[in-house]
Every structure is written in structure tokens, then in C-alpha cells.
């Protein structure tokens, strides 16, 4: 049975869209930028702010009830109900440790019937926090149980391919995926049939 490693933010949920629509635009009503204009993640240059300003805003949003209660990706949830038992599943997120408990709870609340393993790669470290992995590739190299990575980051996809994983780039405005959500899930179903 193959193991799918799912990115959380912007795959299992729509964090960037929620932040942009309900937090950034509310605080910046004169902004002419559209969500579909975000050509990079992080999108600070598209928004005309510093990386630090973007991260502070996103961290603030992650502490809100809206972020803790985001709707899960309905297409993935439906696919899991039909095909999820053909795979094992892992959630792997890169975010500050401070927000990891909330997102772990969110993943298990919405996807816990299938996703039973949760990993986090901290994006920023406190003074006394040990550094085990600096990116998802290092985590996946250590974990050694993932077969497929579904992620919205082209860098994470490239590094996972170098490790020998099958990969699917989940479509977002900031990547060059040629697949739709439906096509990503169809490809996963095909891989289940040949494994």
C-alpha cells in the first residue's frame, strides 16, 4: 500500500486564499492585487511588503477563529471517502511550531479517518528548540515511508523527486501546475490501481 504525504496549507485547505481574502484585503481595501495575481509563495513582493511583514500578518491570521475553522478541501475529502482506504496517509506541514497544535487538530478533525500521522517542519525556531529538519526533503529523507508527495510548492516537489518519490504539484496561482484538482486526484487513483 502506497503512502501519500499531503501538504496541509493550500492543499488540504485554502489558507492563502482565506488569509488574502479575509485578512489582507480587509486591512488593505485599496489593494488592486487579486488572489490569482499571486505569482510566488511567499507573495510579499506581489503585495509590495517585506517578507517579515507578510509572515507577521499570516501568523496573526493563523491565530484567528477563521483560520482554525477553515473548511477542508471538499474535492480531496470526497476523494478520500471513495479511494482513501487504498493508501496510507501522512500530513506534512511547514509552519511555525507555535501554530502546529491548531493545524494538527484541524487535520485530525477533518481528515483523521485517513490521515493518522502528522509531521511538522518548523519554519522558524525558538532559542532552545532543536533543529531536526530544515525543509520537507530532509523530513522525508528521515521518514523514509512516503511514496507520493502532493504539494503546492515547486521546490518541495523537485526535492521529493530527487529522493525518488512520485509527486503531484497541486495547482495554485504561484506554481506552474498543468493539472486541475480533479486531475491530481485522478492520477492518485491510477497509482492505487497499479500498486
User: Is there a single domain that holds both residue 100 and residue 142?
Assistant: yes
User: Is there a single domain that holds both residue 136 and residue 190?
Assistant: yes
Q: How many domains does the chain have?
A: 2
Q: What are phi and psi of 37, to 5 degrees?
A: -85, -10
Dihedral over Cα of 116, 122, 127, 131: its sign: positive
Measured N-to-C along each axis, helices 136-143 and 154-162 cross at an angle, to the nearest 10 degrees, of: 30
User: Is there a single domain that holds both residue 29 and residue 57?
Assistant: yes
User: Is there a single domain that holds both residue 149 and residue 59?
Assistant: no
CA distance 11 to 9: 6
Among 53, 68, 83, where does a domain finish?
A: 68
User: Is there a single domain that holds both residue 98 and residue 183?
Assistant: yes
From 31, 19, 79, 43, select the one nearest 175 (Cα to Cα).
43
User: Is there a single domain that holds both residue 36 and residue 117?
Assistant: no
User: Is there a single domain that holds both residue 8 and residue 20?
Assistant: no
**Range(s) of the domain holding residue 35:** 15-68
Residue 129: its pLDDT value, please?
87
User: Is there a single domain that holds both residue 155 and residue 188?
Assistant: yes
CA distance 28 to 103: 26
User: Is there a single domain that holds both residue 147 and residue 94?
Assistant: yes
Residue 195: its pLDDT value, please?
66
User: Is there a single domain that holds both residue 42 and residue 97?
Assistant: no
User: Is there a single domain that holds both residue 88 and residue 56?
Assistant: no
Residue 193: its pLDDT value, please?
77
CATH number at residue 94: 3.40.50.1000
Q: Could you state, in chain order, the average pLDDT of each consecutive group of 10 residues for the chain (195 residues)?
A: 97 98 96 96 96 96 96 98 97 95 97 98 87 96 97 98 98 97 97 80
User: Is there a single domain that holds both residue 93 and residue 115?
Assistant: yes
Amino acid at each position: 500500500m502506497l503512502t501519500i504525504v499531503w501538504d496541509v496549507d493550500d492543499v488540504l485547505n485554502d489558507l492563502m486564499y482565506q488569509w488574502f481574502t479575509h485578512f489582507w484585503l480587509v486591512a488593505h481595501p485599496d489593494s488592486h492585487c487579486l488572489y490569482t495575481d499571486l505569482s510566488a509563495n511567499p507573495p510579499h513582493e506581489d503585495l509590495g511588503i517585506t517578507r517579515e511583514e507578510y509572515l507577521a500578518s499570516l501568523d496573526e491570521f493563523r491565530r484567528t477563529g477563521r483560520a482554525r475553522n477553515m473548511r477542508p478541501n471538499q474535492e480531496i475529502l470526497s476523494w478520500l471517502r471513495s479511494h482513501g482506504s487504498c493508501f496510507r496517509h501522512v500530513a506534512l506541514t511547514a509552519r511555525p511550531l507555535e501554530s502546529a497544535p491548531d493545524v494538527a487538530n484541524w487535520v485530525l478533525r477533518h481528515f483523521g479517518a485517513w490521515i493518522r500521522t502528522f509531521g511538522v517542519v518548523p519554519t522558524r525556531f525558538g532559542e532552545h528548540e532543536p533543529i531536526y529538519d530544515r525543509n520537507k526533503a530532509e523530513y522525508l529523507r528521515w521518514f523514509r515511508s512516503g511514496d507520493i508527495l502532493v504539494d503546492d510548492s515547486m521546490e518541495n516537489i523537485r526535492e521529493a523527486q530527487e529522493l525518488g518519490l512520485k509527486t503531484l504539484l497541486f495547482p495554485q496561482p504561484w506554481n506552474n501546475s498543468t493539472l486541475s484538482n480533479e486531475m491530481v486526484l485522478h492520477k492518485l487513483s491510477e497509482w492505487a490501481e497499479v500498486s
